[in-house]
Amino acid sequence: MSAGTIRSLLMGDKQADRVVPPTGFTARLTLFVSGAMAFLAVFALALSLASGRLADRWADELARSATLRINAPADQMADQTMMALTILRQTPGVAEARALTAEEQTALLSPWFGPNLPIDTLPVPQLIEVTETGEGYDQAGLRLRLSAEVPGAVLDDHTRWREPLVAAANSLRRLALVSILLIGGATAAMITLAANAALAANAQVIEVLRLVGAKDRFIAGAFVRRFTLRALLGASVGVVLGMGGVLLLPEASQEGGFLTGLGFRGAAWLLPLAVPIMGAAVAFAATWAAAHRTLKELT
């Protein structure tokens, strides 16, 4: 199908549209369905983008950090921490090593123990946050040196729990993308059903048009235009509502953890605007195919 054909199918004039009788009820159903589908598509899109961001962040930031945990009797804690920090600062490939303050450790633990527990009375290990440079450090060498000089130190490079998290975020993203495809497919199916119903209901009209010398393009155009515009309008309303819904989601925050921050960021806000256009394109193709199937059976 050439660009000219598509243009002439979509343009058409008011008078040509009148040859197909107006259908109030099915028109509203098509509007509703494409609106609902667009609304869902916006959320699937937000989910896919957010899980993508999450996966990237975990894969990226956490890969370049590690935690050193020091378990030592209370009187040796400060010495061992000092020692570990010194070793870490001497290790090539470590960009930064920083012992967490007591307050920071309390903040980390309070969600689990509650705010009222006096954590400083517990034998809490000291944590040291290690940030790598781009090249990274020699893990085996560092472990060996630590075990010799700081017996209470355990190096955790996060791989153990980072990998399943990244995998989970990635499969969430895949799921969201599959949902978008399914939404598109379901919209196509629904529009095809509606278009077939409209074509069947107007079989007489189509026959008369054909008898007075209408080309297939004219007849198909009357239906294609109608359904494309309905899908475009419905999907636009759906997208506006969907974006409003996403806007109302809570902001990303420390307390909310990774479940917040599901919305769009920056230029990604433009992405949902493509949904009505895609919806209209799907409706165009579905109606065009349905009309051609019907017309082929007429002389």
Structure tokens at 288: 């065009």
What is the Cα–Cα distance from 17 to 22, expressed in whole angstroms?
Answer: 9
Locate the DSSP E strands across the chain. 65-70, 94-99, 126-132, 153-156
* From candidates 28, 89, 98, 215, binder to other proteins by CB under 8 A: 215
Residue 218 exposure: Cα atoms within 13 Å on the Cβ side: 17
Cβ distance to other proteins smaller for residue 16 or 62: 16
The piece of 49-57, 93-101, 143-151, 205-213 that touches other proteins (CB under 8 A) is 205-213
* From candidates 1, 3, 7, 15, binder to other proteins by CB under 8 A: 15
Binding residues for other proteins, rule CB under 8 A, total: 21
Using CB under 8 A as the binding rule, whether residue 203 contacts other proteins is answered as no
Could you tell me the smallest distance in angstroms from the CB atom of residue 287 to other proteins?
18
Cβ distance to other proteins smaller for residue 11 or 167: 11
- Consecutive H or E run containing 280: helix 274-296
Could you tell me the smallest distance in angstroms from the CB atom of residue 198 to other proteins?
14
Q: Dihedral, CA atoms, 247, 253, 256, 261, nearest 10 degrees?
A: 40
* From candidates 32, 210, 241, 281, binder to other proteins by CB under 8 A: 210
Closest Cα partner for 72 from 149, 3, 125, 1?
125
Using CB under 8 A as the binding rule, whether residue 1 contacts other proteins is answered as no
* From candidates 5, 167, 207, 257, binder to other proteins by CB under 8 A: 207
* From candidates 189, 211, 247, 277, binder to other proteins by CB under 8 A: 211
Using CB under 8 A as the binding rule, whether residue 213 contacts other proteins is answered as yes
**For residue 67, what is the DSSP state?**
E
Using CB under 8 A as the binding rule, whether residue 205 contacts other proteins is answered as yes
Closest Cα partner for 188 from 271, 291, 280?
280
Structure tokens at 289: 């195919």
**For residue 22, what is the DSSP state?**
P
The piece of 72-80, 214-222, 239-247, 269-277 that touches other proteins (CB under 8 A) is 214-222
Give the burial string for 79-101 (b: 16+ CB within 10 Å, else e): ebbebbbebbeebeebeebebee
Q: Which residues bind other proteins (CB under 8 A)?
A: 15-16, 18-19, 21-22, 205, 207-218, 295, 299
